[in-house]
Amino acid sequence: MVSPILRHLKAVRRRTPGGRVVTHFRREKTSKQVCAICGAPLHGVPHGKRPSEVRKLAKTERRPERIFAGVLCAACTRRVLEEAFYVKHGVKDMSDVDMVLRPFVKQALKVVE
Ligand SMILES: [Zn+2]
C-alpha cells in the first residue's frame, strides 16, 4: 500500500539536465485562511493556490482593503474596533478587554477616532 501521506500529494516527474527522471511530491492545494481569533474561514482571500501563485495576483486580489483584512473575520474585526472605541473614550479600561482581543485592540487604537 502507498504511504498514507503520499495519497494526499501529487507526484510530479521532472527530467533533470542529466537526463534522469526524478519524482517528487507536492501538496496540490493550500487550505483556507482562517480568522486569528475564532478560526472562521476568511472571505476575499485566495485559497487552493500555492504561495508563488498568490504572489503573482494583484494586491487587491490577495485580501480585502480594510483593517485586519486577511487576519480577522468581519465579526471579530467589529468586536475589536468597538472595544478600541470604548478604550479610547474611557468607557472601558484595557484590563477589562478580553485577553484574546487585547493585541488587536492595541493595534486598532491607532486608527480609531
Ligand atoms: Zn473571527
Domain ranges of the chain: 29-108
Give how far Cα 10 sits from Cα of 1, 54, 57, 59, 98, Å. 16, 19, 24, 29, 43
pLDDT at 35 over 80: yes
Residue 28 banded pLDDT, cuts 50, 70, 90 = confident
Distance 50 CA to ligand 1 centre (A): 24
pLDDT at 5 over 80: no
What is the pTM for the complete model shown? 0.73
**How far is it, in rounded angstroms, from Cα 108 to Cα 113?**
10
Distance 65 CA to ligand 1 centre (A): 17
Q: Which three cell numbers stand for residue 26?
A: 507536492
* Backbone dihedral angles phi then psi of residue 66, each to the nearest 5 degrees: -155, 170
Q: Average pLDDT for residues 73-85, to the nearest whole number? A: 95
Distance 5 CA to ligand 1 centre (A): 31
Q: Average pLDDT for residues 64-78, to the nearest whole number? A: 94
Distance 48 CA to ligand 1 centre (A): 20
Distance 98 CA to ligand 1 centre (A): 14
Distance 3 CA to ligand 1 centre (A): 36
Residue 9 banded pLDDT, cuts 50, 70, 90 = confident
Distance 113 CA to ligand 1 centre (A): 23
Distance 38 CA to ligand 1 centre (A): 4
* Per-residue DSSP letter, 105: H
Distance 56 CA to ligand 1 centre (A): 27
Higher pLDDT, 70 or 112: 70
